[in-house]
Amino acid sequence: MNLISRAEELLLLAIWTLQDQSYGAMLRDYLVEATNEDWSIGVVYNTLDRLARKGFVRTSLGDPTPERGGRAKRYFHLTAEGVESLERIRTVQNSLWSDLPILNLRNA
């Protein structure tokens, strides 16, 4: 399956939006705000790793800050393939969402 999952899609969009601020804590905050769900840091990193393995993001290391207890930040950046994957899922969703018949929700 070449389609990315919802979490992966959301994360890629978050990275796209946040540009140079795309590291773990920021991404998580953005997602929590956008989706109103309390994402755990583990899920975020897991998904990021999967994206990295698939080649849709690449990582780089940043500087340590005192707020992080002196630890470095790990930044994530979109790759061309990542953008491509976003476009693909968008296309698929669009085509599915359009031309939907009227749904009769009464129990038959």
Partner 1 sequence: MHRPPRICEFLVRLVLHDVDRAAVLGDLHETYSALREHYGCREAARWYRSQVIRSIPFIFHRSIFWGLTMLHNYILVALRTIRKHKGYSFINVTGLAAGLSCFLFIALFIQHERSYDRFHSGSDRIYRVELDLENPMGTNELATSPGALSPLLNRSLPEIEVSTRLFRPSQITIATETDTYKETKTFFADPALADVFDLVVLRGDLSGLSRPNGMVLTEEAATKYFKSDAVVGQTLLVADSLTVEVTGIVQSFPSNSHFQFDVLISMDTWKRVMPATDTRWSPHMFHTYALASPAANVESMKATLDQLIRENVQLGDGWWFNFQFTPLTDIHLTSHRIAELDVNRSVDSLYLFGIIAVFILAVACVNFMNLSTARSSMRTREIGMRKVLGARRAQLVGQFLGEAYLFTVLAVLVSVGIVILGLTWFNSVAGTTISAASLLQGPFLISILLAILLVGLLAGAYPAFFLSGFRPISALKGWASSQTGHRSGSTLRKSLVVFQFAVSIFLIAGTGIVLDQLSFMRSADKGFEPEQVFVISSLSARDHTAASAYAHQISNLASVESTTMSNAVPGRETIGYSFRVPSMEESEWQVIPVLFTDADFMEVFDVELAAGRDFSWDYRADSSGSIMLNEAAVASIGWKPAEAIGREFFLRRGGTTIVGVLKDFNYRSLHNEVEPMAFLSTPIAYGSAPLFLSIRLTGANMAETTSALESEWKNMLPNKPFEYFFLNEDYDRQYREDERLARIFTVFGGLAILIACLGLFGLATLAAEQRMKEIGIRKALGATTYGIAAMFTANFMKLVGLAILLGIPVTWFAAKAWLENFAYRTGIGLDVFLYSAVILATIAAATITIQSIRAALSNPVDALRYE
Binding site for partner 1 (CB under 8 A): 23-25, 28-29, 40-43, 45-46, 49, 61, 64-65, 67-69, 71-74
Task: Supply the minimum distance, in Å, between the C-beta of residue 73 and partner 1.
Answer: 6
Cβ of residue 27: shortest distance to partner 1, in angstroms? 9
Element (H, E) at 57: strand 57-61
Give 17 or 46: the residue with its C-beta nearer to partner 1.
Answer: 46
Would you say 54 or 73 has its CB closer to partner 1?
A: 73
The least distance separating partner 1 from the CB of residue 58, rounded to whole angstroms, comes to 14
Contacts 24+ apart (CB under 8 A), 87-94: 88/2, 88/3, 89/3, 89/4, 89/9, 92/3
Q: Tally DSSP H helices, then E strands, for the chain.
A: 4, 2
Name the residue nearer to partner 1 (CB basis): 23 or 56.
23
Least distance from C-beta 34 to partner 1, angstroms?
Answer: 16
Based on CB atoms, which residue is closest to partner 1, 7 or 86?
7
C-alpha closest to that of 2 among 59, 55, 45, 79: 55
